[in-house]
Structure 1
C-alpha cells in the first residue's frame, strides 16, 4: 500500500494530462508551436506590409504581396484551430519581432529590397521551416500536424522564391 501511495501524485499528473488531451486542449509542446507559429505569422505579415510600401523592385513588391496573402491565410487557419482548443493567441508581437519590423521601416531605401529578401524571405523562412518540420515530427494533435504539413510547402516555396530574388538583387 505504501508503494502505491508513493506513485499516486505521478498517477494524478498522468490522469490530468490525459484529461487535458481528451478535452481538446493542446499539450505543452503543441502550445509552444502554436505561439511561435502565430508570432512568426504576424511578424511576416507586418514585414510584408512594410515591403509592399517600401520596396523599389517590382519583383520584391510582388514577393511581399505573396507573403502577405499566404501568411494572412495561414494566420486565420491557425487562429481558428487555436480557438477550437480554447487557446488564445498572443495579442502583441514579442519585443524582438517588433524591433525587427521597426528596423525594416527605418532601413535605407537603397538597401531595403536586399535586406527584406535576405532577412524575411530567407533567414526567417529558414527558422519557420525548422519550426514547422519539428511540429510535423512531434505534434500529437492530428489537426495541428495537418496544419503544419499543409503550411510547410508554402514556407519552402517562399524560401526558394527569396533565393531566386537574392540573385537578381546583387
Structure 2
C-alpha cells in the first residue's frame, strides 16, 4: 500500500513539475520522449510530427557529416541513413501538407539536436566515428520508442499507419547502429 501511494505521489509530482516549467525550462524533445516512453504514453499528433521531423533532420545532417568524415561500415551506414530518413521526411511532409495530418512541421532542429551536430562538426577521425556511432544508437532507441507508442495509441489514423509502416525500418536501423558501434 505504501508503495502504491508513494508511486502515485511521485507520478503526480512529476506531472506537476513538468507542467509548471517555463519554456526555457521545458526538457528537449528526447527528454520528453524518454518520460513518455517509460509511461508508455503516445505523444500528441503535433508532438509526434515535431519529434519525428526533428529526428529526421538530425539523422540527415549528422549522417552527411559522417559520409564525408568516415569510411567503411560507418560511411555505408551514414549513406543509408541519409537515403532512408530523406524518404521518411518526404512522406511525413506529404501527410501534413496534404491535409491528412493536422500539425505544423518544424523548419529547423531544436537546440539540443543543433548542439549535437555542432559537436560532431568539431570532431574527426576515431573520435568522430565513436561519437556518431553512439549518437545513432541513442537516436534510434528514441525513434523506435516514439514510433511504437504512436503506432499503438496515436490519435490520427493516417499517422498511426505511417508510424507502424516505418517502425520496422527504425528497428533495423537500431540494430545496424548497434552493429556498427561494436
SS where residue 90 of structure 1 aligns? coil
Corresponding position: 1:118 with 2:134 = yes
TM-score (norm 1): 0.77
Pairs within 5 Å for 1:27-106: 29-55=44-70, 57-85=71-99, 87-106=103-122
Deviations 1:113-147 (A, max 9, x none): 12211112x11100011111110121121110111
CA distance in 2, matches of 1:163, 1:90: 29
Q: Following superposition, which runs of at least 4 residues in structure 1 exceed 6 angstroms of deviation?
A: none
SS where residue 91 of structure 1 aligns? coil
Query: What does residue 147 of structure 1 align with?
Result: 162
CA distance in 2, matches of 1:47, 1:165: 15
Query: What does residue 13 of structure 1 align with?
Result: none
Structure with a larger share of its residues in helix: 1
Unaligned runs of 5+ in 2: 1-42
Query: What does residue 11 of structure 1 align with?
Result: none
TM-score (norm 2): 0.72
Unaligned runs of 5+ in 1: 1-27
Alignment RMSD = 1.4
Q: Alignment partner for residue 123 of structure 2, among 97, 107, 113?
A: 107
- CA shift, 1:93, in A, is 0.8
Deviations 1:86-118 (A, max 9, x none): 533111111111111111111242211122111
Q: How many residues align?
A: 138
